[in-house]
């Protein structure tokens, strides 16, 4: 009896122990560990994302540029699948049976369950499906929107929208696979304003995945909020006209309103139709554009580092005036070039000698080589390096050599060589003004983007200040712009010196004989400009021009860069003058139609 009593006690203790373990486990599962609860809840509900429409984009005159069109993703709810006519579905979707089977198999993997089976159904396909959805249980459509463009313009400026990848999701948990995001241009930089806020609908489903209604009466549903509408600074008519002028050329145009820094037009040529990068063909079209030898995806206006050529001479004139190493009466001779200690810089035939205004008007290389040497050989500086650093500080104050901090994500900084750059090549204190004499005429160790060139023209037109160039004019619900766009950046040069250089640029266009930019002269509008011929080791030199107008009340500042255009007056100056005339008068005068016709009928694309 005692033996059996002992066994009973052991068994009782074991039962109690097992019961305690079960109770503790249940307590842990139900009270402490919520993962099982979440798993159970997830098996009883389905979350459907509601995607908001992106904000609309208008130009400065409230012309609609970018809007939305409906698009539909075909989704699969695997637990709702029943027998259906697979051949009929494949015919509607224009896919084969293997693609259908793979899509269903993928949808049964939890990781991919919320991925679309087919993205962006065409309206025609969606209409066919909608009539016959009852025949295909387990398939449903998720609505979203795609971008639509009212004009085939401004692709680089507007940017495009694409699907997020894992890197983006890692950086920003707002996004999940299948979401779309602005990639470049306005769409990219102002993504958080344009995207809106996603909503969700939580549905109650049974053990077979069948929808039974809203989960907990819709308590966890959330409305989507559409993106904010955006008014950009560009004039779409001017943008369209500029793209028309540049259709047969490689290069860029940037036009700015000097008194605000607002970008009126930003053209990179060759460009592309922005509608190519929407819809299901986006990836194929992107690949084709990427392989195109003309590089239409490359934004030359922001990312091309060009030598400015003679458009840089006004900067050297301003620095020399400020440093008092020259005056308006300073005169230099030119014998078709500059020659000193075995160094030579060629120049074209013109009157000689010239004073400062004549030097700008005639774009004399010899004149500005002398000016530059006076800046770097100024005896008030102990070494050439000290004088050079002082010169460079002036140049940088124009917004050159660094990013302007505009509202573009892919803006490059250009290049203004530091003194250490020459120390590395020639040795410390082993280089002189003659070593870097090419900087006198905007060649050598100086590179500028077309955006920076236009900003330089704006700074000169304002007589010594600029606002950071930008494309935002107004965002719905936002009262003020980013403070950096309304801050005045003052250049370290007196206004009186700017007046002198402005007059020189006036003479370059309107001074008659000797003027290098006479082609840019307009009826009843005083245009001030400076031509440039930028050396190109790979072929014909580049044609460059900066300008602003009118002289005394500037409404537009512009830079034009035409690759392989040779002389500034050949292509860049006439294009800039046409842009200025179109913006200020909305037409081209009859006596200048020949200029427009020559630009439109010429071509340098394959130079």
Residues 89-135 pLDDT 10s: 999 999 999 999 998 988 888 766 677 888 888 788 888 888 888 88
Task: Report the 3 state secondary structure along 475-533.
Answer: ECCCCCCCHHHCCCEECCCCHHHHHHHHHHHHHHHHCCCCCCCHHHCECCECCEEEEEE
Average pLDDT, whole number, for the chain?
A: 91
Band of pLDDT at residue 221, cut at 50, 70 and 90: confident
> What does the alpha-carbon distance between residue 26 and residue 16 come to, in Å, rounded to a whole number?
15
pLDDT value, residue 182: 94
Name the CATH superfamily for 40-72+144-215+223-232: Penicillin-binding protein 2a (Domain 2) (3.90.1310.10)
Domain with CATH 3.40.710.10 in the chain: 236-601
* 23, pLDDT greater than 80: no
> What does the alpha-carbon distance between residue 445 and residue 400 come to, in Å, rounded to a whole number?
13
6 or 537: which leads in pLDDT = 537
Q: How crowded is residue 446: how many other Cβ atoms within 10 Å of its Cβ?
A: 25
> What does the alpha-carbon distance between residue 596 and residue 577 come to, in Å, rounded to a whole number?
10
Task: Report the 3 state secondary structure along 146-170.
Answer: EEEECCCCCHHHHCCEEECCHHHHH
pLDDT value, residue 36: 44
CB-based contact 61:67 (threshold 8 Å)? no
> What does the alpha-carbon distance between residue 221 and residue 201 come to, in Å, rounded to a whole number?
5
* 38, pLDDT greater than 50: no
Band of pLDDT at residue 562, cut at 50, 70 and 90: very high
Band of pLDDT at residue 22, cut at 50, 70 and 90: confident
Question: What proportions of the chain, in percent to the nearest 5, are helix, strand and coil?
Answer: 40, 20, 40
pLDDT value, residue 366: 96
Band of pLDDT at residue 8, cut at 50, 70 and 90: low
Cα 465 to chain centroid, rounded = 24
pTM for this model (two decimals) = 0.88
Q: For 236-601, which CATH class?
A: alpha beta
| 176-205 average pLDDT score | 91
* 43, pLDDT greater than 60: no
CB-based contact 343:352 (threshold 8 Å)? no
Domain with CATH 3.90.1310.10 in the chain: 40-72+144-215+223-232
CB-based contact 199:52 (threshold 8 Å)? yes
SS3 65: strand
The dihedral over CA atoms of 339, 344, 348, 352, expressed in degrees to the nearest 10, equals -10
Residues 398-419 have pLDDT tens digits of 999 999 999 998 999 999 999 9
> What does the alpha-carbon distance between residue 367 and residue 314 come to, in Å, rounded to a whole number?
12
Q: Long-range pairs for 139-142 at CB < 8 Å and ≥24 separation?
A: 139/74, 139/75, 139/76, 139/77, 139/89, 140/74, 140/75, 140/77, 141/72, 141/73, 141/74, 141/75, 142/48, 142/49, 142/51, 142/72, 142/73, 142/75, 142/116
Tokens of 509: 């266009």
pLDDT value, residue 144: 83
SS3 144: strand
* Phi, psi values for residue 421, rounded to 5°: -60, -45
Share of the chain above pLDDT 90, in %: 70
* 63, pLDDT greater than 60: yes
pLDDT value, residue 35: 44
* 4, pLDDT greater than 60: no
* 44, pLDDT greater than 70: no
| 484-503 average pLDDT score | 97
Q: Which residues pair with 306 in a beta bridge?
A: 448
Residues 337-359 have pLDDT tens digits of 999 998 999 999 999 999 999 99
| 206-225 average pLDDT score | 75
Pairing state of beta strands 57-58 and 230-232?
Answer: parallel
User: Would the CA dihedral through 209, 210, 211, 212 be positive or negative?
Assistant: negative
DSSP label at 54? Answer: P
447 or 111: which leads in pLDDT = 447
**Weakest mean pLDDT among 189-198, 350-359, 529-538, 548-557:** 529-538
Q: How crowded is residue 107: how many other Cβ atoms within 10 Å of its Cβ?
A: 22
* 527, pLDDT greater than 60: yes
pLDDT value, residue 40: 47
* 538, pLDDT greater than 90: no
> What does the alpha-carbon distance between residue 499 and residue 310 come to, in Å, rounded to a whole number?
19
- The residue among 211, 193, 191, 252 whose CA lies nearest residue 79 is 211
pLDDT value, residue 409: 87
Task: Note the helical H segments in 442-494.
Answer: 450-461
Band of pLDDT at residue 206, cut at 50, 70 and 90: low
pLDDT value, residue 39: 44
Name, in order, each residue with C-beta under 8 angstroms of 17's C-beta and a sequence gap of 6 or more.
none
């Amino acid at each position: 009896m005692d033996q059996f009593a002992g066994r009973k006690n052991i068994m009782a203790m074991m039962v109690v122990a097992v019961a305690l373990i079960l109770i503790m486990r249940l307590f842990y599962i139900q009270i402490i560990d919520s993962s099982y609860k979440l798993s159970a809840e997830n098996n009883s509900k389905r979350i459907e994302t509601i995607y908001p429409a992106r904000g609309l984009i208008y130009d400065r005159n409230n012309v609609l540029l970018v809007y939305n069109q409906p698009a539909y993703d075909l989704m699969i709810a695997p637990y709702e699948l029943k027998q259906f006519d697979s051949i009929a579905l494949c015919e509607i979707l224009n896919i084969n049976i293997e693609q259908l089977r793979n899509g269903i198999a993928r949808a049964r993997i939890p990781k991919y369950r919320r991925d679309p089976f087919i993205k962006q159904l065409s309206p025609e396909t969606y209409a066919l499906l909608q009539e016959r959805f009852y025949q295909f249980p387990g398939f449903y459509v998720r609505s979203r929107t795609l971008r639509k463009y009212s004009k085939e313009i401004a692709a680089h400026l507007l940017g495009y929208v694409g699907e997020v990848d894992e890197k983006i999701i890692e950086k920003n948990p707002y996004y999940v696979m299948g979401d779309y995001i602005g990639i470049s241009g306005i769409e990219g930089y102002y993504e958080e304003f344009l995207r809106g806020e996603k909503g969700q609908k939580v549905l109650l489903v049974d053990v077979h995945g069948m929808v039974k209604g809203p989960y907990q009466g819709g308590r966890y549903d959330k409305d989507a909020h559409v993106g904010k509408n955006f008014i950009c600074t560009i004039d779409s008519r001017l943008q369209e006209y500029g793209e028309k002028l540049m259709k047969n050329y490689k290069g860029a145009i940037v036009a700015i309103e000097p008194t605000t820094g607002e970008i009126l037009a930003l053209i990179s040529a060759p460009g592309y139709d922005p509608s190519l990068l929407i819809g299901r063909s986006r990836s194929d079209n992107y690949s084709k554009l990427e392989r195109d030898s003309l590089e239409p995806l490359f934004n030359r206006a922001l990312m091309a580092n060009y030598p400015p050529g003679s458009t840089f001479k006004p900067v050297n004139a301003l620095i020399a005036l400020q440093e008092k190493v020259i005056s308006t009466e300073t005169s230099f001779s030119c014998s078709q070039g500059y020659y000193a200690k075995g160094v030579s810089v060629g120049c074209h035939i013109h009157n000689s000698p010239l004073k400062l205004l004549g030097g700008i008007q005639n774009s004399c290389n010899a004149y500005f080589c002398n000016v530059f040497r006076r800046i770097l050989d100024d005896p008030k500086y102990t070494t050439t390096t000290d004088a050079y650093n002082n010169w460079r500080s002036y140049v940088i104050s124009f917004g050159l050599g660094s990013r302007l901090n505009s509202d573009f994500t892919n803006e490059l900084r250009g290049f203004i060589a530091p003194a250490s750059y020459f120390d590395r090549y020639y040795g410390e204190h082993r280089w002189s003004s003659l070593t870097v004499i090419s900087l006198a005429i905007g060649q050598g160790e100086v590179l500028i983007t077309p955006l920076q060139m236009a900003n330089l023209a704006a700074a000169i037109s304002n007589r010594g200040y600029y606002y950071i160039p930008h494309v935002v004019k107004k965002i719905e619900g936002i009262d003020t712009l980013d403070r950096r766009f309304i801050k005045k950046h003052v250049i370290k040069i007196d206004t009186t010196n700017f007046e002198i250089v402005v007059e020189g640029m006036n003479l370059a266009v309107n001074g008659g004989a000797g003027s290098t930019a006479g082609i840019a002269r307009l009826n009843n509008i005083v245009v001030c400009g400076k031509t440039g011929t930028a050396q190109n080791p790979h072929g014909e030199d580049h044609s460059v021009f900066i300008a602003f107008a009118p002289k005394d009340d500037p409404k537009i500042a512009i830079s034009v860069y035409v690759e392989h255009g040779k002389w500034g007056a050949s292509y860049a100056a006439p294009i800039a003058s046409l842009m200025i005339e179109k913006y200020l008068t909305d037409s081209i005068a009859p006596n200048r139609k020949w200029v427009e016709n020559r630009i439109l009928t010429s071509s340098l694309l394959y130079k």
